[in-house]
Each structure stands twice: as structure tokens, then as C-alpha cells.
Structure 1
Amino acid sequence: MKPEFSVDELVPHSGQMSLLSEITGYGEDWLSAAVDITPASMFADEQGVPAWVGLEYMAQAIGAYAGLQERHNGGVPRVGFLLGTRRYSIPVPHFAQGERVHLKVIKNMQAENGLCAFDCELMGNGYTATASLNIYQPEDAEMFLRDAKQ
């Protein structure tokens, strides 16, 4: 199903830090998105965008999934934190200029305390990368960050 909300309405990032180009579909426990690699892309250099940025693409796709859940429940997207990743392996050093990178994130665990685990897949021109990401989404991110400083 195609989402009825734009990336800007789902992901709390703004300006150049909002990296997703489009939400392409979603279901009960998954979301798919795309990123268009251009010379104006955040982190772009003459070779394209470094492949390590794929982790942030995956994290923002998870943020879009969480934002979509919030919107469907009458809320607004909340900030989440990437706690860690396992098994990020990608066979290319850069995403090439002009390439469209496709993402799919699937929720495989969500705890009452805001911890979530997602299986992620990133597909480009002839390659696929996968990773498992652990995310924490507190009820109040400002209070969480304030408490973390103390």
C-alpha cells in the first residue's frame, strides 16, 4: 500500500538531514522507501555517497515506519535513537551518482519500553546489503537526553 503521508510528515529530520526521497509502500510490520543519489545528496562527493551512509538510510526508513504508526494513531512522529547494528555488509564503497537505492525495513521485535529491532535490506544497482538495527524510541526524547547527561 502506498502511504498517504510524505517523507517530511513521517521523519522528524529536516532540510538536508532528511535523506529519504520517497516512501514507496508499507504494511503492518514493514515499510519500503527509496533514496535518489544526486550531487546535492548529503555526504556526496565526486564518487557518490559513501556506502556507510546506508545505515542512516535504513535508520530513517525505520523512523518513517514509526512516524507512519504515530500518524495512524493520531500522533506526530517522535525522535528515535539508533542503538546499534549487526551484520551491515555492503559490496560497494559508494552509492553512484544517478542511482536509486531501495530500502525495506521489517519490524521483528518491539518491547513496551520503546526498544525495537528491525531487519533491513538495501538494494542498488546489482547489489544487496542487509543489517539488523536496534532502535530506542522514548516517550519523551528531551527528558531522555536530559537524564542521559546527568
Structure 2
Amino acid sequence: MTKDELCLLVPHSSAMCLLHEVVEWDEVQILCLAVNHRDPANPLRHEGRLPALCAIEYAAQAMAVHGGLTARKNQGKPKAGFLGSVRDVKLFADYLDDLAEPLEVRAIMQMADANNSLYELRVSAAGKELMTGRAAVFLQTGEEA
């Protein structure tokens, strides 16, 4: 999957499409890589730094890609979704931009129905955990992404 194809599955374009590649995925989880956390032009930077809290957006995009790939596999169309809540977030770093290694962004589906999805989120680099948490997505019924 090219970066352009990947970006079609997230509600952002250009520099705000943060993920670089899908490493693996199945019906339950997805693992993506991101390398733009080191880019000085990253649109999430604040005062020249990329706060670790931005890992939530990377993980939310992995959730969107997972939802889109799962819908395609099941011969459906991806539904537009909105991040409804983020809970139990734990950060194990202050910033992401000082990490030389790619970000490993994992989203693991805990529950899904026609209107909602709940994921466990994990972002790491070179085996070091950077962020964990959970997020809920509310899906629009009848509307495609």
C-alpha cells in the first residue's frame, strides 16, 4: 500500500496524513510506521517540538486506516467516523521529535458494531513504549468516508 493509498483512508491529506506505511493488519489490529515525527515541518509541532501527546493523533489515524481496510475486505465502504473519547492515556516520553527510530503505531480493536468502535492504542519506537490508551470512534450511519 502506497502512502497515497493509505492517506485515502484517513480524514486528512498532505502533511496531516501522518502514517508512512502499514506493516501488518488483520480483522482485529493494525501496525503502522511513521517517520515524519522528526520532520521540522510536521504540522503538529508546537514551538519547534512534537509533544508526545501527538501520539494520540498517530494512533487515531491507524484506527481510521484499520476501519477502512476492514470495510474493504468485507466488501463495504468505509464509514466516516469521529473520535469520540480518549481514555487512560499514559505518556512515557515528553517529545517524539528527538527519537531517531520510526514510530510503531498499533491499534487493537476491542469492540465494534455498526455505530462504534473501541480500540486499545500503543505507540512505541525501537521497543520503547511511548504512549498507551484507549479510544472510541463514533461512526456515521449511511455516510461513507
Indicate whether the TM-score tops 0.5: yes
- Take 2:6 and 2:135, find their aligned partners in 1: how far apart are those partners? 20
Residue 117 of structure 1 aligns with an amino acid whose one-letter code is L
**1:135 alignment partner, one of 134, 137, 141:** 137
- Take 1:10 and 1:103, find their aligned partners in 2: how far apart are those partners? 16
Across the two proteins, how many residue pairs are aligned to each other?
Answer: 139
Residue 92 of structure 2 aligns with an amino acid whose one-letter code is P
Structure-1 residue corresponding to 2:28: 29
Structure-1 residue corresponding to 2:68: 67
Contact 2:2 2:21 in 1 (8 A): no
CA-CA distance at 1:12 after TM superposition: 3.1
Contact 1:105 1:121 in 2 (8 A): yes
- Take 1:126 and 1:77, find their aligned partners in 2: how far apart are those partners? 31
Give the greater-gyration-radius structure (CA).
Answer: 1
Structure-2 residue corresponding to 1:103: 105
SS state of the match for residue 118, structure 1?
A: strand
CA-CA distance at 1:67 after TM superposition: 0.8
- Take 1:44 and 1:33, find their aligned partners in 2: how far apart are those partners? 20
How does the TM-score come out when normalised to structure 2?
Answer: 0.82
CA-CA distance at 1:99 after TM superposition: 4.0
Structure-2 residue corresponding to 1:146: none
CA-CA distance at 1:139 after TM superposition: 1.9
Structure-2 residue corresponding to 1:89: 90
CA-CA distance at 1:46 after TM superposition: 6.3
How does the TM-score come out when normalised to structure 1?
Answer: 0.80
Contact 1:47 1:96 in 2 (8 A): no
Contact 2:19 2:34 in 1 (8 A): yes
Contact 1:11 1:77 in 2 (8 A): no
SS state of the match for residue 138, structure 1?
A: strand
Contact 2:120 2:135 in 1 (8 A): yes
Structure-2 residue corresponding to 1:56: 57
Cα gap change, 1:14 to 1:75, in 2 (>3 Å): farther
Q: Deviations over 1:64-92 (max 9, x none)?
A: 00111222234443321111111111121
> Following superposition, which runs of at least 4 residues in structure 1 exceed 6 angstroms of deviation?
none
Q: Higher strand fraction: Structure 1 or Structure 2?
A: 2
Q: Deviations over 1:16-72 (max 9, x none)?
A: 221111111101211111111211222125653111111111111000001112222
Structure-1 residue corresponding to 2:15: 16
Q: Percent identity?
A: 26
